[in-house]
Amino acid sequence: MEVRLTEAERDEIFRRAASAGVTASDYVRRRALRDDDSPVIRVDAEILQRTYMNIKRAGGLLNQVARVLNTTRSPVDVEIELRAALRAVEASSVEVSEFLADARNSL
């Protein structure tokens, strides 16, 4: 099969494929063979990736804080809040990761 594209169209397909983390062939195939009318999810993957990394970094920092608290003062003073914060960071990290996967798979 041959498809004629302008250079700008070709560049745009390659840009979108790279943004989705797939090859241009996979991108075109997925887009062309979609047989439902589900909405197209448009996301800025770079922003979501940065957000994901920030959340993970915050989790690491919280772990460091926990270590310091365990060695310098009673962790009982902050145990409940610290555990809640760690659970929130973990849950957010999982949500962002799943959202990125869903967005990639929706192409």
pLDDT, residue 77, reads: 63
How far apart, in whole angstroms, are the C-alpha atoms of residue 56 and residue 59? 5
- Please enumerate in sequence order all residues whose Cβ is within 8 A of that of 82, keeping only pairs 6 or more positions apart, or say none: 62, 65, 66, 69, 75
Tell me the one-letter amino acid at 52: Y
Q: Is the pTM of this model over 0.85?
A: no
pLDDT digits 0-9 by tens, 41-67: 667 777 778 888 888 888 887 887 777
Q: Where are the domains of the chain?
A: 1-37, 41-107
Residue 14 has pLDDT above 80, yes or no: yes
What local confidence, expressed as pLDDT, does residue 39 receive?
Answer: 58
